[in-house]
Amino acid sequence: MSEEITRRRFIKLGIGAAAGITVLGAGYAATWAPELEQPRTKMGAGMSTVLVVYGTGSGCTAGVAERIGKTLAEKGVTVEVVAAKDAPAPEGYDAVVVGSGIRAGQWHAPVKEWVAKNATTLKHTPVAFYTACLTLANEPAKTDEVRAYTDPIVAETGVEPIDTGLFAGWNEPKRFSFIERTILKMMKAPEGDFRDWSKIEAWAAEVAPKLGLAG
């Protein structure tokens, strides 16, 4: 994802956009990048079924969701991985795993809206949350702070997760706009893909029995 912009336009508009990149003591969060289009993915052929929902701005969390789905499928579970913006219906699944990247200290709006819209069903379905955040790449001591990003969602919707996975995200410059790249560089955000696939897979494997999933 990229955007060509003149220096004059950056000075005029980019500084204002700086307000859209919020540290909040929790890291770096793009506030306006559009979500990438991702296909609906179905995998596995087990008796239990699980819906894995995600929200992403740069594509980072889409990869996390797919790896969670792949791990569950390998345990004999039928999995569908769908972007929150595609409004998947949670009815009929044995469990739901839902998560997001972080934007201005919050989950992406489509994911929050999806949880709120489907709260009645989710309250009666085993649910796990997961969050991908760049902060955890270089400030692991802020784990509790990152975990707390889902507290407002729980308070507002009444949806209580049985577990919450916390994973480091990425700062891949080519995935961000010119303004975002410039501000992230000014903030000295570490560059790279910090997703720990072994940790993501381990969490998915551990959460499966908590969700009552059986192959």
Q: For residue range 24-78, what is the model confidence (pLDDT) as tens digits?
A: 333 333 333 334 556 679 999 999 999 999 998 777 899 999 999 999 999 999 9
Tens of pLDDT, residues 159-210: 999 999 999 986 666 666 677 667 666 766 666 788 999 999 999 999 999 9
What is the CATH architecture assignment of 23-173+191-210?
Answer: 3-Layer(aba) Sandwich (3.40)
- The answer, as to whether pTM is greater than 0.85, is no
pLDDT at 21 over 50: no
- pLDDT (0 to 100) of residue 172: 62
- Say which range, 41-45, 99-103, 112-116, 211-215, has the weakest mean pLDDT: 211-215
- pLDDT (0 to 100) of residue 43: 95
> In this structure, are residues 25 and 142 in contact, taking their beta carbons and an 8 Å threshold?
yes
- pLDDT (0 to 100) of residue 39: 63
DSSP lists the bridge partners of residue 78 as 49
End-to-end CA distance of the chain: 38
> In this structure, are residues 87 and 114 in contact, taking their beta carbons and an 8 Å threshold?
yes
- pLDDT (0 to 100) of residue 102: 85
- pLDDT (0 to 100) of residue 190: 66
Q: Region 141-146: what's the mean pLDDT? A: 93
Mean pLDDT of the chain: 81
pLDDT at 20 over 70: no
Q: Tell the residue number behind the tokens 């579970």, with chain if given.
A: 77
> In this structure, are residues 65 and 52 in contact, taking their beta carbons and an 8 Å threshold?
yes
- pLDDT (0 to 100) of residue 77: 96
pLDDT at 97 over 60: yes
Domain extents for the chain? Answer: 23-173+191-210
Describe the chain by its helix, strand, coil percentages, rounded to 5.
45, 20, 35
Collapsed DSSP state (helix, strand, coil) of residue 160: coil
